[in-house]
Structure 1
Amino acid sequence: MQADRYTRLVSWLKVVFPLMALALLSTLFLLSRVIDPEAVIPFADKEIQDRLKGQQVTGPFYTGTTADGDKIAFAAQSLTTSKTERGVNRARNVDVEIDLAGGSQITLDAAEGFFNLAQDNVDLEGDVIVTTSTGYRIESDLLSARMTGLNLKSPGPVDATGPIGTLNAGSMTLTSEAEGGPAQLVFTNGVKLVYTPKGDE
């Protein structure tokens, strides 16, 4: 009697299991027809188009050494290729550190930077701040620089503070005339200096 029950149970399961499997497959096919493929894309259409138009690198970092032995470290929040100008890269929130061979250090901070490797040039724009280890802090709206050597130029007005006091000028140049020589900071075009003696507060 028990053997007959076992036989009937096995026969019944042989029918039920295939039917359950068929029901599950049918459910999967029905659900797949309801799902909108475009609704599960994790990127917005505008973001995809923007990435296709301009290649983007997040958190780029670069270090190198110039022919004069100065060490340069560059970092930014993002770097994108220009959509209109060939060979130009645009960086946001730029930080540059320059360790001069003579021992001094210069840091540059800017909201944006436009790099042209072919012309060995970078234009820093938007609240550009230059800080030197010799005690100078210089603010400008635009700063142009070479990428393979020490040659910084501000074609427009600059505001500076330093060991000698506060200074305003129509333009500024920071360069090294001799290879491996000391950096020279030169202010021109209507220089106004408010001298602060070292003993004064």
Structure 2
Amino acid sequence: MRAYDNAYSRIVSWLKVLLPLLALAILSTLFLVARTIDPAQDIPFSDIDIDELMNEPRIGGPTFSGMTEGGAAFSLSADRAVPDPQNTGRLSGSDVRAAIDLPEGIRVDVVSDTAEIDNDARTAGMTGDVKIESSNGLTLESGDLTIDFDALRLWTDSAVTLTAPDMTLDAGHAELVSEGDGSGPYVLVFKGGVKLLYDPKQ
């Protein structure tokens, strides 16, 4: 009986030493295999420059719309815009889109890389790759376009290329204006070294 008690006591004594050591080994293994976190690594879902946002306020998705005196409806939107600190009525927009519904039923869509929008003067000066498409099948490309929404006058100061189903036209600049009192019809006028290539379908 005494021998049994001595063996039991020795086992208990050894377990008192071994079990804590085993626990420490398990904890050490967990720390060793844990993924190392790099504090300098960027947060993967954060693409916002906080300093830039604080120093340069932005407007996300601004939209302007209205109706001209001649009865044409228009809208102007941008993916983002930055207000002019010197003039609250002016904005610099990027990825700009304009849509104009003329009284005679023709729709004109305009896209450009950037634009200077003057809300007080109701004008937009578009720059970059400007592309104009009309619902009657005309496409016009230019490096700039100015829109006066009050008078609904569109004009370019740089060269333009017009494509249509049967022709291609190059000119120094172009202008869309309304005849008469502004109620239409609207005409597209080309000036400055106009070159027309007519290719009728066979």
| Same fold (TM > 0.5) | yes
Question: Kindly, what percent of the aligned residue pairs are identical?
Answer: 28
User: How many pairs were matched up?
Assistant: 158
CA–CA distance in 1 between the matches of 2:50 and 2:85? 15
State the shift of 1:74 in Å: 1.8
Matching residue of 1:147: 149
- Tell me which of 179, 183, 188 is aligned to 1:180: 183
8 Å Cα contact 1:53-1:83 kept in structure 2: no
State the shift of 1:80 in Å: 1.1
- Tell me which of 193, 197, 201 is aligned to 1:194: 197
Bigger radius of gyration among the two: 2
One-letter identity of the residue aligned with 1:96: A
- Tell me which of 53, 59, 66 is aligned to 2:68: 66
8 Å Cα contact 1:130-1:139 kept in structure 2: yes
> Structure 1 unaligned runs (5+)?
1-41
8 Å Cα contact 1:77-1:94 kept in structure 2: yes
Structure 1 residues 148, 54: CA separation in 2 closer, same or farther (over 3 Å shift)? farther
Instruction: Give CA deviations for 1:74-98 in whole Å, capped at 9, x if unaligned.
Output: 2211011124666320111011111
* Secondary structure in structure 2 of the residue aligned to 1:184: strand
State the shift of 1:119 in Å: 3.2
* Secondary structure in structure 1 of the residue aligned to 2:70: coil
CA–CA distance in 2 between the matches of 1:47 and 1:82? 20
Aligned CA RMSD, in angstroms, stands at: 2.4
- Tell me which of 137, 142, 164 is aligned to 1:162: 164
* Secondary structure in structure 1 of the residue aligned to 2:193: coil
State the shift of 1:173 in Å: 0.3
One-letter identity of the residue aligned with 1:166: T
State the shift of 1:129 in Å: 0.2
CA–CA distance in 1 between the matches of 2:116 and 2:132? 17
CA–CA distance in 1 between the matches of 2:88 and 2:62? 20
Matching residue of 2:12: none
Is 1:102 the equivalent of 2:104? yes
Matching residue of 1:129: 131
Matching residue of 2:14: none
* Secondary structure in structure 2 of the residue aligned to 1:76: strand
In the TM superposition, what are the counterparts of 1:18-57 in structure 2 within 5 Å? Answer: 47-57=49-59
Matching residue of 1:80: 82
Matching residue of 1:171: 173
8 Å Cα contact 1:54-1:82 kept in structure 2: no
State the shift of 1:143 in Å: 0.6
More helix by share: 1
State the shift of 1:164 in Å: 4.2
* Secondary structure in structure 2 of the residue aligned to 1:112: strand
* Secondary structure in structure 1 of the residue aligned to 2:103: coil
> Structure 2 unaligned runs (5+)?
1-44
One-letter identity of the residue aligned with 1:181: G
TM-score, with normalisation over the residues of structure 1?
A: 0.70
CA–CA distance in 2 between the matches of 1:121 and 1:79? 15
State the shift of 1:68 in Å: 1.2
